[in-house]
Amino acid sequence: MNEQRIDTLLNAMTLEEQVSLLAGATFWTTAPVERLGIPALKVSDGPNGARGGGSLVGGVKAASFPVAISLASTWNTELVTQVGQALAQEARSKGAHVLLAPTVNLHRSTQNGRNFECYSEDPFLSARVCVAYIQGVQSQGVGATVKHYVGNESEFERMSISSDIDERALRELYLVPFEAAVKEARTWAVMCAYNKLNGTFASENRRLLTDILKREWGFDGVLMSDWFATHSTAESMNAGLDLEMPGPAKFRGQKLLEAVRAGQVRAEAIQDSARRVLRLLSRVGVFEHPAPVEEQAIDRPEHRALIRRAGAEGTVLLKNNGVLPLDPTRLKKIALIGPNARTAQIMGGGSAQVNAHYRVTPYEGLQARLGGSVVLGYETGCANHKLLPLLEKPLTAEYFNNRGLSGKGVPGAGLAQAEVMWFDEPAPGVNVDTFSARLSTRFTPDEDGVHHFGLVSAGLSRLFVDGRLLVDNWSAWKQGDTYFNNGSDEATGTLELQAGRAYDVTIEYATPAEGIRAVRVGVTRPLGDEHLERAARLAADCDVALVFVGHNGEWDTEAVDRPHMDLVGRQNELVSRVASANPNTVVVLQTGAPVTLPWLDKVAGVLQAWYPGQEAGNAIADVLLGAAEPSGRLPQTFPVRLEDNAAHGHYPGGNGRVRYGEGLFMGYRHHDTKNIAPLFPFGFGLSYTTFAYGNLRLSTESLAPGGTLTVTLEVTNTGARAGQEVVQLYVRDEKASLPRPEKELKGFLKVALEPGETKTVTLTLGMRALAYFDDARAAWVAEAGRFEVLVGSSSRDLHARATFSLQRDWVGSLETAQAAF
C-alpha cells in the first residue's frame, strides 16, 4: 500500500476511528477498524525469542536465542543479521507482525538488571549490532521496535526516576544507537522508556520525540509507549507519542476525543499518528493477510544450528593456561561441578523470557560430545538461586468468581508447573480481574530432612502441606521486587519431610485490586558444607574440574538491579575449594554482566558464556572441546571492583533522580582517562590460536573536511589452528577545544583465518568518527588538527598506530550528519 492509498484510507476515517488506532485494543494488539477493512496489528516480546501473545510463564513454546550481550560478544554483524531473520520467522509463527526488540540502552553500570538484554557499553558497537539485527528482522516483513528511548540504564525506580544527562553525553553516547536504528536501519517502530529524561517523562518529552526523533532524524514509523508508560492524554499526544500500549486505552480513546474537541490536541496530530499506524500495518503486510494466525511451536532445525553457532561464537575466553581446548584422548575423568552444571541457564528474566522448545545443560552437552569415552562426575557444590527452586510438578486448578474462594468452584486446565501468570480468564466464565484459585499437587522428596517452601505472588497467597498452613503470604502480604515490582518478596516456611513419602501441597490465591496476577511456589533442601567438601573431593579425583557458576534470570532480570558485582551465595568459595584440589580447574561463567573474580589467579581457565539460548550446553561443550573457536570479545569492561565502575557514586540515584555524573567518560573511556586498570578490558578475548598485525596504511595523511579515510592493515594467523580475530579500530583526537575521551571505538571487523593465512582488512572512517558534539553550536564538529588511528585486539591491546591531519574544521548539522561514524 503506497502513501497515496494510505491518505485515501485516512481521509475516509472519522475522528473516532483515527483515535481508535492510537491505543492498543488488548495487551498485544491494536484496534481494528472493521468498517474500512483495517485489521488489528499483533506485537510480541523479544529480543532473544518471540513469545507471542501468551503469558511470560508457560505458553506456546518458542526458540530461545542468545541474549543481546552474547550476540554483541560475537562482534559479527552478518551473524546478527541471520539471527534477526530467524527471529522474524519466529514472530510470524506466533502470528505477530512486530517484534518488540532490540534493546539498545548502554551498559552504564555493571549492576543494571537488564544489561543482558542490551548490547554494549560502547555506542558504536551497539549501533552496528542493532542495525544488523533490525535489517535482519525487517527483511522478512516483520517490524522491529528499537527500545527504550532513552536513558533507561538501570531498573531502580524505572517507572518514575529522571535520568539527568548532559547534552554531549546524550548525543555522543546514549542517542547514538537509536540514531543509527532510524537513519540506517530505517526501523519501523520505536518504544519510549518508562523513565523521565531531564525531568520529563520520555513519553511526554516533545524535544526527544518530535524535535529529535521525527524531525532531525526523519523517523516515519510508529512511536509507542512501553507497557503502561503513558501518563497523560494531551501532553503525550502533543509530544509526539503515536500509540499507547497496552490496551484497552487508559489515556487515549474517549479522553483523547474530548481533548481534540476542547482544542487541547490538534486534529492534524491525530491524523499524523494514525497515518503512521496505517503505514506500519502496510509495511508488515497485514492488509494482505488480515486473518489472525494461531500461535505455533515450530522447532526448526536450522534455528537450532544457528542458536548453537551464535552461542559458541559469543563465548569469551578470559583465561587459558593451556588446559583448553580439552583433549578427550588424554582424559579419563572430568568433574562437572556447580549449580549451573546440570541446569541450563539459557536466558535472563522479565519480558525477554520465552517458553523454550528445550534446554540443553552443560552436562548434557558434554555427555553428547564425549559419548561415554570419558567418565563424567558431578556435584552441585552450592546453590545460586534467588528464589527457591521451582516446584516442577503438575497442578490441578479450581477457580472461584470472587476473591474469597467461596461458592461453587470452576475446574480449570491443569498447570505444568507451580508458577502461573494469568492474562486471560483462567477458566470459562471466570473474571480474570476478580477471581481466587485453589491449586493442588503432591510432592515426594528424594531425601529426608528439613525442606524450605517459598511462595511469591502478585495478589494474596498461602500454602498448605497436608492441610497445615506453612506459608502465609495472605494476611501479611508486602510488595517486593518480583513480577515487575507487582509481586511480593518470597515468603518461606520449613518442614521436616521423609524421603519417599507423598505430601499434599495446596496453594490458595486471590487476585490483587489491579495489576499483574501471578503466583509461584518453590521448594528445596538447603545445601551445606558437606556439598562443598564433596565437590572438592570429586575435583581431586579427576583430570580436569569444570566449575559452572554464575547467575540466572532471577538475578539478571527486568525491574530489579543486581545488589552488587559478586557471584551470589557460596560460589566463590566453591571455585576456590575446587581450584585448591585440582590445578586444572576451568570456570565457566554464566552471567548477564561483569562479576568480580577473586579466585582468578588460582584457576587454569575461565570462559564467559553469558546466556546463550536453548542450545547452551551444546555451545559450551563445543568451545570447551575445541569443536568451535572461542571468538567472542567483551562488549563491556570488567572492572576489578565495583568502585572502579564509572557510574559508581552516581548510581542508582535517589530522590527521584539519577545524575549521569560521569558524562562522556563511561566504560573503557573512564578507565583510560582515569588510568584505572580493568580486570579485563573492553574488546578483550583470547583464542585457541594467535594473530599478528602488520603493514598499517592510511589512504591519506591530510584529510579534507567531508572526506573519508581508508585504513588498511594485514592480519596473520600465526598459530596452528583456524580462528577468528576481531580487528578493532580506535580514534584519538590529539587536541580538542572540549574534553574528549582518550580514544573511542570507530570501526571493527571480524576476520576468519586458516593457520598461516594473511588477510587484508579495510575499514573506513567518516567525519562523524572524528567529531564531537558541540552543545554550544548544537552541531557535530571535527576540529582541524592531528588524529591518531589505533588498531588492536582490545581497548588496551593495541598493535599498530598511525597519524593523519584534518585540514580544516568540519561542522555537521543535526539533520544531515550521518549516523555512521
Q: Give the model's pLDDT for residue 818.
A: 57
C-alpha cell at 677: 586498570
Joined grid coordinates for residue 762: 579495510
Pick from 146, 459, 142, 150: which is nearest to 286 by CA?
142
The CATH number covering residue 428 comes to 2.60.120.260
**CA nearest neighbour of 637 among 268, 203, 318:** 318
CA 798 remoteness from chain centre = 30
162 backbone dihedrals φ, ψ, rounded to 5°: -100, 120
Cα gap 660→640, rounded to integer Å: 21
Q: Are residues 706 and 793 in the same domain?
A: yes
Same structural domain, 341 and 444:
no
* Beta pairing class for 709-717 and 758-765: antiparallel
Confirm whether 357 is domain-assigned.
Answer: yes
Q: What is the pLDDT of residue 714?
A: 98
- 790 with 765, same domain? yes
Would you tell me how many other CB atoms lie within 10 Å of the CB of residue 286? Answer: 22
- The CA R_g of the chain, rounded to the nearest whole Å, is 27
442 CB-side CA count, 13 A: 5
CA dihedral 82, 87, 90, 92 (to 10 degrees): -100
Supply the pLDDT for residue 817. 59
Domain C-terminal end among 626, 643, 672: 672
- State the residue range of the domain holding 437: 395-524
Distance CA 646, CA 256 (A): 43
Q: Within a domain: residue 599?
A: yes
User: Are 318 and 366 in a shared domain?
Assistant: yes
Active-site pick, 45, 122, 226, 622 = 226
Is there a domain that residue 120 lies in? no
Q: Is 166 one of the annotated active-site residues of the chain?
A: no
The verdict on 450 and 368 lying in the same domain is no
Q: Are residues 401 and 520 located together in one domain of the fold?
A: yes
Is residue 211 in a domain? no
Mean pLDDT by groups of 10 residues along the chain of 821 residues = 91 98 97 97 96 88 98 98 98 98 98 98 98 98 98 96 98 98 98 98 98 98 98 98 97 98 98 98 96 95 98 98 97 98 97 96 98 96 97 96 96 94 94 97 96 98 98 96 95 98 98 95 97 98 98 96 96 98 98 98 98 98 98 98 96 96 98 98 98 98 97 98 98 97 98 98 98 96 98 98 98 70 47
Measured CA to CA, the distance from residue 262 to residue 542 in angstroms comes to: 78
Number of other CB atoms surrounding residue 434 within 10 Å: 14
Of 672, 699, 725, the position where a domain reaches its end is 672
Contacts of residue 233, defined as CB under 8 A and 6 or more positions apart, other chains included, come to 251, 252, 255, 256, 259, 264, 265
Cross-strand pairs, 222: 189
Pair 499, 428 in one domain: yes
Coil/strand/helix, residue 601: helix
pLDDT confidence of residue 55:
82
- The reply to whether 622 and 512 lie within a common domain is no
Closest CA to 32 of 278, 294, 256: 278
414 lies in the same domain as 489? yes
In this structure, the dihedral spanned by the alpha carbons of residues 508, 514, 520 and 521, taken in order and rounded to 10 degrees, is -30
Tell me the DSSP string of 272-331.
HHHHHHHHHHHHTTTTTS-S---------HHHHHHHHHHHHHT-EEEEESS--S--GGG-
Given a contact cutoff of 8 angstroms between Cβ atoms, the answer to whether 244 and 27 are in contact is no
User: Beta 605-608 vs 316-320: how paired, if at all?
Assistant: antiparallel
Tell me, what's the pLDDT at 821? 47
Look up the CATH number of the domain holding residue 661.
3.40.50.1700
In a domain, 448, yes or no: yes
- The tally of domains found in the chain comes to 3
pLDDT score, position 820: 47
Residue type, 305: A
**pTM over cut 0.85:** yes
Which pLDDT value is given to residue 114? 97
What's residue 434's pLDDT?
97
Q: Give the list of residues 6+ apart from residue 782 with CB closer than 8 angstroms, or none.
A: 705, 767, 770, 771, 772, 806, 809, 810, 812
140 lies in some domain: no
- Give the three-class secondary structure for 386: coil
User: Are 712 and 800 within one domain?
Assistant: yes
- CATH number for the domain spanning 797: value is 2.60.40.10
Same domain, 776 and 729: yes
CA distance 239 to 202: 9
In a domain, 110, yes or no: no
Cβ atoms of 764 and 713 within 8 Å: the answer is: no
> Exposed, middle or buried, 498 (CB in 10 Å: 0-12/13-18/19+)?
exposed
**Contact call for residues 185 and 217 (beta carbons, < 8 A):** no
Q: Which helix (H) or strand (E) holds 427?
A: none
In a domain, residue 736? The reply is: yes
Which residue bears the cell 602488520? 694
State the cell numbers at 286.
497485514
- Looking at the structure, do residues 651 and 711 belong to the same domain, yes or no? no
Our CA angle for 227, 614, 310, nearest 5°, is: 95
